[in-house]
Structure formats: C-alpha cells, structure tokens
Amino acid sequence: MKLSNIGLIIGREYATRVKKKSFILLTVLTPLLMAALMFIPVLIALYSGEDKQVISIVDNTGLLEGYFEDSGKTHYNFLPVETTQESLKAGFDTFDSSTLIYVSPLDSAGNAAVTAYSKEPLGIDTKSAVEDKISMALRDRKLQQLNIQDFDEIMGKVRSDVRIDAYTLTNEGKEKKDSVEIYMIIAYVLSFLIYMFVAIFGSMVMRGVIEEKTNRIVEVIVSSVSSFELMMGKLIGVALVALTQFAIWIILIGAVMFGLQGVVSSKTAEKMAEVTAAMSESPLPDANVNPVDMGSLGEISSVMDQIAQINIGQILLCFLIYFVLGYLLYAAMFAAVGSAVDNEADTNQLSLPITIPLMIGLFIMLHTFQHPSSQLSVWASLIPFTSPMVMLARIPFGVVPTWQLLLSIFLLIVTFIAIAWASAKIYRVGILTYGKKATFKDLFKWLKYKD
C-alpha cells in the first residue's frame, strides 16, 4: 500500500465533489434553512403579534368591566346593555370593532352564556383571554357570595407557584444546573445529524463506486493503484468533503446564533427600559407593556444563557470523532456493496444489513433522550454499529464516564479496521466483475480469496 497513491485518490475525490455546484448550494443553503427552522419561531415571538384590535362587549352581568383592561394590542369597549344580540349581528360594521362579545344575564347557577361575532375566525389567544377574564369575574362573584371573611388575604396565602431548580452533582461534589430540555434538543439534533449524514455520505460512496464501475473508469484507475488504495482514497476523500461542509456550517450557524442572541438582548433591553420608565412615572405597571412579552423574552434570554454554559467545544469534538468513525465504518460496507453490483437498483438486497443497524441506532436514540443512563442506552453506546448515534444522544446530558467514551471509540476503531479489511477483499473482486448480480453467497466466497 502506497500512501502517495491514496493521497492522489483523496485529492481527486475531494476536488471533483467540492467543485460541483450542488455541493456549493447545499453547503450554503442547508445551515441557513436549519437556522431558519430553529430561530424563525423565536423571531416571530419577538416581533410579531396580532394587529391592534377593538373588542366591544355587551355585559348583561354587570360584573366584567373591571376585569377587562386595555393593553398595547387590544382596546375593550363596553356597549350599552340595551344592545340586543340580534342588533349586534345585524349592525356589525357600524360598531367599528374587530370582535363583538355578547354576555347573557346570569342564570340561577350564576353562570352566563358568551357569544362572539367576528368577520374572521377568532384568534386562539383572544378567545382564551376573554374566556379567562369572564370566568374569573364569575368565580369571584360566587366566592363573594360565600361571605368568607378576609377571602382575598386567604387566597393570597394559599396560592403557590412551584418551579424546580434542578442540579446535577458531579463526582467532585460540585453542582451543575440542569437544562434537560436544552440537553434533549442538542442530543436530538446531533445524533440525528450523525444518522442522516452517515447514511447520505455512505450512499454517496456507493453511488460513486457504481458510477466508476459502469463507466469502466475503474479499469483505468486500478491499473495504476491497488483496489484497497482506491477504496480507502474514496472513503477519506468523501470524509474530507463532509468535514469541509461541517466546518462551513459551524461558522454560518455560529454567526446566526450570535446575531440572534444580539437581537434577543436588544429586545429585552428595550422592554426593560419601557418597564423602568413606566415604573418611574407610576407605581402601577404600564398597560402598554405586555407581561407575556416580557416573560417570553426572559425565557428566551435564559435559554441563551444556558446554552452558553454548555461545553460546546467538547460536544463538537465528540461529534466529529463519532461522525468520522461512524462514516468510515458504514462507508466501507457501502463501498463493498457498490463494487458488487452493476447498477443502483441491485443494491437494495445487499444494503439491507447495513441500513438495519442504522435504523436500530435511530430507534434506541429516541429512547436515550428519556433514559440516557439506562442499560439499553449504555450498551448501545458501546456497540460500534449503534454507538455513533446513541453516544451522541448521551453526551449532552453529562452522564457518560470517561472510560465508556474511550471504550466506545476504541471499539469503533477496531471494528472499522476489521470491516475495512473485509470490504477491501470484496471490493478487490467485485470492482472488476460485470454482468452478474452478486448474492451474499458470492460476497462470502470473495472474502475467502487469497491476496
């Protein structure tokens, strides 16, 4: 085996694929689309919302006016109780309102029927807000009828809001604040990317082998280099293409995240300034400052802070290690399958034993999100054919001992060497075999051929 020959094959594979327009487009567009899927909902939450609306209410209970306060998005207008339900419907356009609410008189049980009229379907947020306010008004009336002394004070004392601050204790006795939801998101994204890219780039190797075999280019190439050198050159060349894409994606996604964090910080600062200004003028909160918006901004800012505390460098390093090793393991098998057939349609049967472990790893990965330390998760993160997906699903949770991580990587390397050796023997014979659809029996026979 000559390293110079492998280097030539690597250079050829890398240059051929990187110069394609499809590579350039996918490299640029994929991270932008991924970032859009992740962050557009956040930006929508920050900047969008319902247009300012006027809601007119006919209150036949006489209880509601104190419960409906204007906000920056909604103005509530109470109409005379003489307004009938029929006149609301008939003269909708004359009220200059987006929604008309008719509340019936109280029945014997202290309840009221509520009917809403609008030209467009009533927004879920508006509907929920109106329902909550009317329910609160009716509930308070019923409670007041019980004549409980100091009722408001009692309710204030018994009402509690519980929020769990979860911490993980390290082996050194230190505590680390948990962000389970963030861990799950990172674990899902990384492990699914491993699964997707191993399958994509492995199949790319297989299609490349089939194409060269069909065009008879391989006959020219193997006259100058050995079949093993050709196979390894293709595997490493495509791996470098993948790593080039990852490097560009990391830079682009990092830039998008940095920009989003700046937007969130700026928006939070604006809202805080509004609250501060309102509090300086009046002890009561400004009606134009929506507390829901402030809560959402606070949660988004908290998520950004928790992401900043995660050891992103360690996670990216493990991702690269497991991607490269997982890719090499599966790509070697895909290369052997590609060499054994004359067209892509004949690969289905032979590639089934390759895709099944990938699918099993995907299913176990979904279990690992909920149970990262279960026996199934631990064993699957050590078995080489599933470890690239499952181990990446465990690492963000910080539950992987160093010995398990090192053992998993060692087993993956040893298994790759064994699979590469077996695939090379199949590749050597299959790459120059034409006109016969290979079977598993043929592959085992080729494995027994001596060099």
Look-up of token digits 């700046």: 262
Measured in whole angstroms, how far is the alpha carbon of residue 59 from the centre of its chain?
A: 46
- All domains of the chain in start order, with CATH: 3-42+180-448 (no CATH), 53-122 (3.40.190.10)
114-118/99-103 β-pairing: antiparallel
pLDDT at 21: 78
Residue 277: count other Cβ atoms within 10 Å of its Cβ.
11
Q: Report d(CA 126, CA 99) in Å as an integer.
A: 10
pLDDT at 293: 46
pLDDT at 233: 85
pLDDT at 289: 45
pLDDT at 414: 94
pLDDT in tens, 41-79: 666 655 555 567 888 999 998 888 888 888 767 888 898
pLDDT at 195 over 70: yes
pTM of the model as a whole: 0.63
Of 17, 5, 32, which is closest to residue 244 (Cα–Cα)?
A: 17
Residues 6 or more apart whose Cβ sits within 8 Å of residue 415 = 329, 384, 385
pLDDT in tens, 126-136: 888 889 889 98
pLDDT at 11 over 90: no
Letter for the amino acid at 34? Answer: M
Angstrom distances, CA of residue 59 to CA of 39, 67, 124: 42, 12, 21
Answer for the pair 26, 245: CB distance below 8 angstroms, yes or no: yes
pLDDT at 376: 92
Answer for the pair 369, 397: CB distance below 8 angstroms, yes or no: no
pLDDT at 171: 58
pLDDT in tens, 199-210: 888 888 888 888
pLDDT in tens, 362-378: 889 888 877 888 899 99
Residues 6 or more apart whose Cβ sits within 8 Å of residue 241 = 13, 14, 17, 18, 23, 201
CA dihedral 389, 395, 399, 401 (to 10 degrees): 90
Compute the average pLDDT of residues 407-418.
Answer: 93
Q: Report d(CA 183, CA 397) in Å as an integer.
A: 6
pLDDT at 380: 92
pLDDT at 294: 43
Give the residue, 174 or 399, on which the prediction is more confident: 399
Mean confidence (pLDDT) of the chain:
77
